[in-house]
Amino acid sequence: MREFKRLTPYREALRMMLEDIEEIPDVEEVPLDRALGRVLAEDVVSPIDSPPFNRAAVDGYAVRAEDTFPAREYNPVELRVIDEVPAGGESKTKVEPGTAVKLLTGAKIPEGANAVLMQEMAEREGNIIKVLRPVAPGQNVAMKGEDVRKGQAVLKKGQVLRPQDLAILKSIGFKSVMAKRKPRVGIIVTGSELIEEYDEEALNHGKILESNSIMLKGLVKQYFGEPVFYGVFPDDPEEIGAIIERAKKENDLVLVTGGSAFGDMDFAHRFVKLLFHGTTIRPGRPIGYGERTFVMSGYPVAVFAQFHLYVKHALAKLVGARNYEVRVKARLTDRVPSQLGRAEFVKVWYEDGKARPIKKKGSGIISSLVESNGYILIPEDSEGYLEGEEVEVVLY
């Protein structure tokens, strides 16, 4: 089998790929209840203050704080309750010196009041309360606009929408947002040895259950895309060439697994004008890219690494996504060796500030992915990391 004459350094290959990818211009209006994980196409500016008025942060009594200053448990101050307001209600009564209004959490602070006395800090007899402790101006009051100010940019273009982002959008009156269209991602699996469904007889005669397609569908959905699965194809150059050409026309990005190296039955790379073919990453060295098409390995672990090191960044570029990776600092629980000249994708389990390297090796060992929740990348100029060394973990 022919070898690669030159392996493109990881960062150089990543740069070449990203320079080739252009952001999708298409946007669409998406209802909030379907916007989770979508990428904002524009800044979001609040049309209102939130909260829209001063409101009670606790159950209690709206008071003039200065009326409570002399209050002590041994010498309480008496105030007269002149109104009671439920949440969502509004008192038309002004709080004058010596008076109070009973409020529930969330109720609007009435005119004249500047603090809320927690009900536990008062003893009530009829319409008289005995204030046991003083409160300061503004105490137990959620001030108008303390969460969001009118005219404030609450979310920026490129934000990947999380549940908390949807909550703040709902709180300022939005029913929908403008989001980037999901890029269509064609997925093609090649290999005459592969079958899609369990068949004991076929497995006993050398066939293998294919798993790349379902993994890639999930990864594409996780990173902003809409997967389009074309099927599993045998190692036939005519079939592979035809389906790749079709997929390139019908999608924003194409992922082909299998046929990326130089074996006698590796055909996929022959049907793409590649900007690079063969990089320094391990696992997944034979990856190639060109014409918005990734020619990837056949082994699932290598495919997973190739997706995280290249494909997800391509998808992020297509939709203009920002802050789409979660990176944390951790201490290694064990030494991780590496070979100079290789960009090593090392699977780890991250927990409580520690990263435990997964010992299982091999590009076909899917359980090593299951037992990990992140990776570290050892650069080409390093021979690895020592036990206890601080590293950056990318979570997945």
Q: Supply the pLDDT for residue 1.
A: 46
Angle between helices 10-20 and 312-319 (to 10 degrees): 30
Contact 255, 296 (CB under 8 A): yes
CA distances in angstroms from 177 to 29, 36, 44, 320, listed in the order given = 6, 11, 8, 16
Identify residue 357 by its one-letter amino acid code. P
The CATH 2.40.340.10 domain(s) of the chain lie at 326-395
Contact 157, 73 (CB under 8 A): no
Class of domain 326-395: mainly beta
The CATH 3.90.105.10 domain(s) of the chain lie at 27-50+151-180
Give dist(CA 261, CA 269) in Å, integer: 8
pTM of the entire predicted model: 0.89
Mapped onto helix, strand or coil, the DSSP state of residue 166 is: helix
Return the CATH superfamily for domain 10-23+182-313: MoaB/Mog-like domain (3.40.980.10)
Mapped onto helix, strand or coil, the DSSP state of residue 367 is: helix
Return the CATH superfamily for domain 55-142: Molybdopterin biosynthesis moea protein, domain 3. (2.170.190.11)
What is the third-level CATH fold of 27-50+151-180? Answer: Molybdopterin biosynthesis moea protein, domain 2 (3.90.105)
370-387 per-position pLDDT tens digit: 999 999 999 999 999 999
What element of type H or E holds 56?
Answer: strand 55-56
Q: Which residue has the tokens 């008076």?
A: 99
The CATH 2.170.190.11 domain(s) of the chain lie at 55-142
Q: Supply the pLDDT for residue 353.
A: 98
Local confidence pLDDT in tens for the 396 residues of the chain:
456 778 999 999 999 999 999 999 999 999 999 999 999 999 999 999 999 999 999 999 999 999 999 999 999 999 999 999 987 889 999 999 999 999 999 999 999 999 999 999 999 999 999 999 999 999 999 999 999 999 999 999 999 999 999 999 999 999 999 999 999 999 999 999 999 999 898 898 899 999 999 999 999 999 999 999 999 999 999 999 999 999 999 999 999 999 888 777 788 999 999 999 999 999 999 999 999 999 999 999 999 999 999 999 999 999 999 999 999 999 999 999 999 999 999 999 999 999 999 999 999 999 999 999 999 999 999 999 999 999 999 999
Residue 304 corresponds to which tokens in the numbers above?
């997973």
Q: Using the CB atoms, write b or e for 155-164: b if 16+ within 10 Å.
A: bebbbbbeee
Residue 390's contacts (CB-CB under 8 Å, 6 or more residues apart) are 329, 330, 331, 332
The string of DSSP codes covering 221-284 is HHTT-EEEEEEEE-S-HHHHHHHHHHHHHH-SEEEEES--S-STT--GGGGS--SEE-BSEES-
